[in-house]
Amino acid sequence: MKIYSILLLLCFSVNVFSQYPANLKSEGLPAPVVYDSVYNVVVLPNDLLSGKYDYVRCSFSAWNKNSVNYYWDSWATDGRYYLIFTPYQMILRTSHENPNPNRIVWVAPITTQQYERLKAKCDFEYKWLEDHKGDEIFDRSYENFSRLLNKINKKMGDLKFQIPSKKVFESTDWVYLNPDF
């Protein structure tokens, strides 16, 4: 009987403490996704964060040889941010090892030349800014995103990536990634 009580409590805890809205399960407008079979990457609509879409269904592999991935841990999102470069786009997303929702935070097109240059010069050390001090947690997603892009841009020569202003970055409507999973 004790085992069943613990199991029930765990199931209840996951549902109660999840940050997904209770009514999200595949409701609303899904974003169209294109899968590029040449590079084995997902291509998201460039207007994904315009407020037009509620969620997107796709997956990203950190082991895809056709993408360049950077990440940093975040207490503010209770997970991790991934900055992914594919031959077509720069994508910033969250990832969690808990019931919290994954989201797409930023999407921007990139050129083939930018992608090729980045692939050739992508190795370097990056130290992200901590987003907590003691019990205080604060969002540093934009600061880490822009600092990482600035560091990348130092290696890009005349093919630098455009860094959005904080106001533009914070004005986007984040989109849920795979809300049913």
Q: Is residue 123 part of a domain?
A: yes
For the chain, counts of helices (H) and of strands (E)? 4, 10
Phi-psi region of 170 (alpha: psi -120 to 50; beta: other; left: phi over 0): alpha
Average pLDDT over residues 42-64: 90
Q: Is residue 10 part of a domain?
A: no
Q: pLDDT digit string (tens) for 77-131?
A: 778 889 999 999 999 998 887 777 888 999 999 999 999 999 998 777 777 777 6
Q: Is residue 5 part of a domain?
A: no
Q: Where are the beta strands (DSSP E) in the chain?
A: 34-36, 41-43, 55-56, 68-74, 79-85, 89-95, 102-109, 132-133, 136-137, 175-177
Structural domain including 117 reads 19-177
Kindly tell me if the per-residue pLDDT of 159 is higher than 70.
yes
Pick the closest to residue 82 from 99, 98, 100, 67 (CA basis): 67
- Percent over 70 (pLDDT), the chain: 79
Looking at the 3D structure of the chain, how many domains does it have?
A: 1
Please state, in angstroms and rounded to a whole number, the distance separating the CA atoms of residues 131 and 135.
11
Please state, in angstroms and rounded to a whole number, the distance separating the CA atoms of residues 177 and 56.
5
Q: Is residue 43 part of a domain?
A: yes
What lies within 8 Å, CB to CB, of 173 at 6+ separation is: 49, 50, 51
Q: Is residue 13 part of a domain?
A: no
Q: Is residue 121 part of a domain?
A: yes
Q: Is residue 1 part of a domain?
A: no
What lies within 8 Å, CB to CB, of 83 at 6+ separation is: 69, 70, 71, 90, 91, 92, 145, 148, 149
What is the pTM assigned to this prediction? 0.80
Which three-class secondary structure state does DSSP give residue 22? coil
Q: Is residue 91 part of a domain?
A: yes
Q: pLDDT digit string (tens) for 60-78?
A: 887 789 999 998 887 767 7
Q: What is the DSSP string of 49-86?
A: TTTT-SEE-----TT-TT-EEEEEEETTTTEEEEEEE-
